[in-house]
Amino acid sequence: MTTDQRSFLNSLWDFFCSLKLTMSLLITLAATSIIGTIIPQGTPPQEYLQQISPVKFKLYQALGFFDMYHSWWFILLLYLLTVNLVACSIKRLPHIWKTITQPVTVLGSGLEKSLPNVVSFKAGGEPEALQAKVTALLKAEFAEPVATENDGAHHLFAQKTPWCRLSVYFVHLSVIVIFIGTMIGSLFGYKAFANIMEGESVAKVVTRSEKEIDLGFSVLCEKFSASFYDSGAPKEFRSVLTVLENGKPVPGYEHRAIIVNDPLTYKGITFYQSSYGNAGEYRFLVTDLDGKNAVPVTVPATGSATLPDGSSMHVLETTPDIAPFAPGLSGPAANIEIHGAGGASERVVVYANHPELNIEHAKQHGKGPVIHFKGEEKRMYTGLQVAKDPGVWIVWLGCLLMVAGIFTAFFLSHRRIWVRIQHGTVTMGGNASKNQAAFQLFFDRLADKLKTECSGEKR
Amino acid sequence: MTSSLLFNVTTLAYMASMVVFFAFLASKNKAIGLTGSLLAYAGFAVQTLAIALRWKESYDMGYGHAPLSNLYESVVFFSWTIILIYMFIELKYKYRIVGAFVVPFALLGMAWAQLGMHSGIEPLVPALQSNWLLYHVVTCFLGYAAFAVACGISIMYLVKAKSEESGGGAAGGLMGMFPPIRVLDDLNYRAIMIGFPLLTLGIITGAAWANYAWGTYWSWDPKETWSLIVWFVYAAFLHARFTRGWVGKRAAWLSIIGFAATIFCYLGVNLFLSGLHSYGSSKM
């Protein structure tokens, strides 16, 4: 390797190790993430084109703004962040590791000058006797010290929670663990959706990318029900499901009720209550004004039907009894919307028990037709979110590591105390990796006790 | 006695506390400062009682859920957590004057909730019927509150730094009341040290809940994304401490920007953007 190459690699390495890069990446990620919260993500192109000009559309599309969290440049930023935190860790870890595993146990003058807390006092007596006293005090008040003799001086060193210096690296590691978990999830898992009619079962589900997936078993929806509070707000959506293997119910997975916030998991695949609907049909009888040419018309709940005169209708809502809404009337009624062949549309309520009102309405509005409501067959279906994510536990492991790491990094501190006994002088110094103010209080109190001990005044 | 009455008393107590704190700023009289703190504590005690009472009222109505389910309840809880974190910082670090810059945030929340919002207790829609609601909301708002306190301290930092630059330092004047600039920097860091782990827990409990309810722990919903933006900003703040050129004023600005992003995450997303966190809309 030439020196040019070497210096290039060195500066590349320094670039990836720098905290300035970390700052730029975090701020860039924060700023660019805003784009995807303003531009709707993953909407069909036609809808964007109604809002913005074709030029803008092309530009945004080229920049990946319509799926920006999966765009090449956003992923690149995340990779850079990963490389940055790995490089930072590799650069700093050996030094930290040495601090933890091979602590400086001798209080030299250079170290003494670098310490924020130092006391020094004269003490009489044999150095060995003093050392024993200091050792006992440190053991009782702080941690068991290590003794070293060097150049005729007696050194003692004690420390607490040295390993908490590693917690920052666990936080960095946790980010990588979470990324690994999400990658496993996207490679080996899927998110899909299934609509199941009451009384029917499905063995295949369709993913978001419209791929069909064979479950390997089937799921039967026995019943779906929705309940509401008096205010009309939804109270509960409940599906009763049974898992079938080769057409036979699986013991323990029969008649299982699932509601929002309480899903069903079978063989690593989880079914979540997500939506519902009515796929039943409404029956009407359509006649002329004079009651002739009666034609039964069936309107599906999810669509519309064509009437004999060429117009079409669909149902907005129905009620089994109109009485609470219209005093004096009774029986089933339907609120329908009719789209005339000319493009005009109107909304009208038609009744089952009041044919005269249906005729009167038709007369008021011209030549008909007359529409009578005849009843409905409800067929509810449940909409289930289906998910398989083998990486999710790795993500939770990463989250746990992150929280534990952040708490230890913020609230634990590596505290060290050195004592040197030399020429009848006792010198104590100490420092802490966090919360200096609290350590200073502790250190001052310990120093007072040390002076009392070494002056030999026993209580 | 109803919770609603007690919330009005709380609002008045915070307002009185703020006025007294401003008088403290002007007069530098220690007794006035103490009164300001005591008024804030009294308001906090009444508010605690009111939240407990509202919780009980929801059980009496047959709904039985923690009062954290809609915008009104969350704003009230936010005020409560701001005063809680302020009390913690004040009792631990003994800088009473911080109250003058923090209590107004709590007052703003209470006043907005009491005057401008529908305060009825409503039953929970299916999506919110989960114990995760409690864990998620409590951790998030404690985090937000710590950031509110940090923002107040950062404003003090910038005001003080500005006056020192223009040579108006010394012991005299209003600035004499402010803690030294080094202490403000440290307090800012400490408040964020409380907020950041809580925000992290808030995001994780939210992800766990989403995974349990919908099967997706992260879907880049605007609310989720904004919480991550807030997390990035404060992560940058924490790294700024060790980066040359980023300590001091720039860090204070990061803290203020972080709180602005927090407020947008909390309110702006619901007001301006669409998504899953519609505060008690009838979404499933």
Using CA coordinates, name the residue in chain B closest to A19.
B243
Measure Cα distances from B41 to A2, B46, B91, B188 in Å. 69, 9, 11, 22
Distance CA A227, CA B175 (A): 61
End-to-end CA distance of chain B: give it in Å, rounded. Answer: 35
Q: Is A22 on the interface with B (CB under 8 A)?
A: yes
Q: Peptide bond before A369: cis, by omega within 30 degrees of 0?
A: yes
Q: Is B267 on the interface with A (CB under 8 A)?
A: no
Count CB atoms within 10 A of the CB of residue A458: 6
Distance CA A371, CA A150 (A): 108
Residues B234-267 have pLDDT tens digits of 999 999 887 777 878 999 999 999 999 999 999 8
Is the pLDDT at B84 greater than 60? The verdict is yes
B/e letters for B243-263, b = 16+ CB within 10 Å, e = fewer, are beebeebebbebbbbbbebbb
B/e letters for A351-381, b = 16+ CB within 10 Å, e = fewer, are bbebbebbbebbeeeeebbbbbbbebeebbb
Measure Cα distances from B165 to A308, B92, B173 in Å. 86, 29, 15
Do A406 and A168 touch, CB atoms closer than 8 A?
no
Q: Is B66 on the interface with A (CB under 8 A)?
A: no
Distance CA A152, CA A156 (A): 13
Question: Nearest 5°: CA angle at A257, between A256 and A262?
Answer: 110
Residues A8-38 have pLDDT tens digits of 888 999 899 998 999 999 999 999 999 988 8
Count CB atoms within 10 A of the CB of residue A206: 16
List, in order, residues 6 or more apart from A407 with CB less than 8 Å away: B197
pLDDT value, residue B268: 86
Q: Which residue has the higher pLDDT, B278 or B247?
A: B247
Distance CA A361, CA B257 (A): 63
ipTM value for the complex: 0.89
Least CB-CB distance to B239: which of A19, A263, A389?
A19
Closest CA to B46 of B88, B1, B86, B85: B1
A407 vs B contacts (CB less than 8 Å): 197
DSSP-derived pairing of the beta strands A146-150 and A153-160: antiparallel
Distance CA A412, CA B193 (A): 12
List, in order, residues 6 or more apart from A396 with CB less than 8 Å away: A181, B208
Q: What is the mean pLDDT of each run of 10 residues along chain A (459 residues)?
A: 81 90 95 90 80 86 89 95 93 92 91 93 87 92 92 91 94 96 94 92 90 93 90 89 93 93 94 89 88 86 84 87 84 88 81 88 78 88 93 96 95 94 92 87 93 69
Measure Cα distances from A54 to A48, A60, B162 in Å. 9, 10, 49
B204 vs A contacts (CB less than 8 Å): 399, 402-403
pLDDT value, residue A339: 85
Name the DSSP letter for residue A208: T
**Looking at chain B, which residues constitute the CATH 1.20.120 domain(s)?**
1-124
Q: Which residue has the tokens 């309810």?
A: B213
CB proximity under 8 Å: B 113-142 to A:
122-123, 125-127, 129-130, 132
Do A336 and A316 touch, CB atoms closer than 8 A?
yes
The tokens for A456 are 């030999």
- Indicate yes or no: pTM above 0.90: no
The tokens for A141 are 């008040």
pLDDT value, residue A443: 94
- pLDDT tier at B279 (50, 70, 90 boundaries)? very low
pLDDT value, residue B241: 82
Closest CA to B74 of B113, B34, B128, B30: B113
Name the DSSP letter for residue A66: G
pLDDT value, residue A42: 79
The tokens for B191 are 């408040």
pLDDT value, residue B283: 33
A191 vs B contacts (CB less than 8 Å): 215-216
What does pLDDT average to over chain B?
A: 89
Q: For residue A351, give the 3-state DSSP assignment.
A: strand
Query: Residues in chain B, how many?
Result: 284
Residues B170-220 have pLDDT tens digits of 545 677 778 888 889 989 999 999 999 999 999 999 999 999 998 899 989
What is the amino acid identity at position A119? V
List, in order, residues 6 or more apart from A437 with CB less than 8 Å away: none
The tokens for A144 are 């068991």
pLDDT value, residue A310: 81
List, in order, residues 6 or more apart from B124 with CB less than 8 Å away: B63, B65, B69, B133
Q: Percent of chain B, pLDDT > 90? A: 61
pLDDT value, residue B282: 30
Q: For residue B124, give the 3-state DSSP assignment.
A: coil
**CA dihedral defined by A384, A385, A386, A391, rounded to 10 degrees?**
-160
Distance CA A389, CA B217 (A): 10
Using CA coordinates, name the residue in chain A closest to B208.
A396
pLDDT value, residue A403: 96
CATH number of B1-124: 1.20.120
Helices (H), chain B: 3-27, 30-60, 71-93, 99-116, 132-165, 181-214, 222-240, 249-263, 269-272
Distance CA A194, CA A208 (A): 11
Q: Is A392 on the interface with B (CB under 8 A)?
A: yes
B200 vs A contacts (CB less than 8 Å): 402-403, 406
| CB contact (8 A) between residue B239 and residue A22 | yes
pLDDT value, residue B168: 58
Q: Please give the backbone phi and psi of residue A345, each rounded to the nearest 5 degrees, phi first.
A: -135, 150
Question: Residues B6-28: what's their mean pLDDT?
Answer: 93
Question: Nearest 5°: CA angle at A267, between A264 and A269?
Answer: 55
Question: Residues B124-139: what's their mean pLDDT?
Answer: 90
Q: Which residue has the higher pLDDT, B140 or A458?
A: B140
pLDDT value, residue B232: 96
Distance CA A190, CA B175 (A): 59
Rounded to a whole number, what is the distance in Å from the CA of B190 to chain A's nearest CA?
Answer: 9
